[in-house]
Structure 1
Amino acid sequence: MAQATGRIVPGEESAIHDEPHIEGRRITVLQVVERVEGADRGPKAVADEYDLPVADVYRALTYYHDHPDEMDAVRDRRREREASARERGAKTLDEIRDGRE
């Protein structure tokens, strides 16, 4: 059974990400939210997928909804990095999966 960390590390305190993540893990708050709310999966399924306590999944969801401005900024930074990578010729995951050149 996974042990609860009890803490979300804000992006500005993180040595591994520039966005909030679950303490002691590399999974970000936004990754959890995208899997629970974006992919319509339950918190238990996401917890099992990442060997997390369900409580940590709920902590990530709570953090996301308690910090909307910070999470909007995270999404903006991601979009900017993706656009920059595309300008340099990087493929999207869909293009890679589909075998597009």
Structure 2
Amino acid sequence: MSITRDDDMLGGEPRIDGTRVGVRHVAARVIDSGQSPAHVADQIDVSLASVYEALSYYYAHLDELREFERENTEAFERVRESSVKPKETVR
């Protein structure tokens, strides 16, 4: 497998080809959550080589992936701010 990008899937974020598993998702599970690459491969049903390829892509393209993270965070904040807030209850 290889890392691919497609505007119609995951908003164009890099992902493992043939899956909907994003590079950032793999990196988060291994780097942030401390899961072993073998465990991640087993859990998301991809080869261990694909997990290592995703991690390699992550480290080779940190600026690009940080920009995706920043854009996603900003979009989440916009949605959160514009969402309907529950009415205050009067006591």
TM-score computed with the length of structure 1 as normaliser = 0.76
Partner of 1:94: none
Give the percent of matched residue pairs that are identical in Structure 1 and Structure 2.
34
Partner of 2:68: 74
Q: Does 1:8 align with 2:3?
A: yes
Q: 1:25 aligns with which of 12, 16, 19?
A: 19
TM-score computed with the length of structure 2 as normaliser = 0.84
User: Quick check: 57-66 or 15-24, which moved more?
Assistant: 15-24
AA paired with 2:58? Y
Q: Report runs of 4+ in structure 1 exceeding 2 Å deviation.
A: none
Pairwise CA RMSD: 1.4
- Residue 25 of structure 2 aligns to a residue in which SS? helix
Report the CA distance between 1:15 and its aligned residue: 2.5
Greater C-alpha Rg: 2
Tell me how many residue pairs correspond in the alignment.
Answer: 83
Report the CA distance between 1:80 and its aligned residue: 1.0
Partner of 1:53: 47
Gaps of at least 5 residues in structure 1 are 91-101
AA paired with 1:8? I
Q: 2 CA distance for matches of 1:87 and 1:79?
A: 12
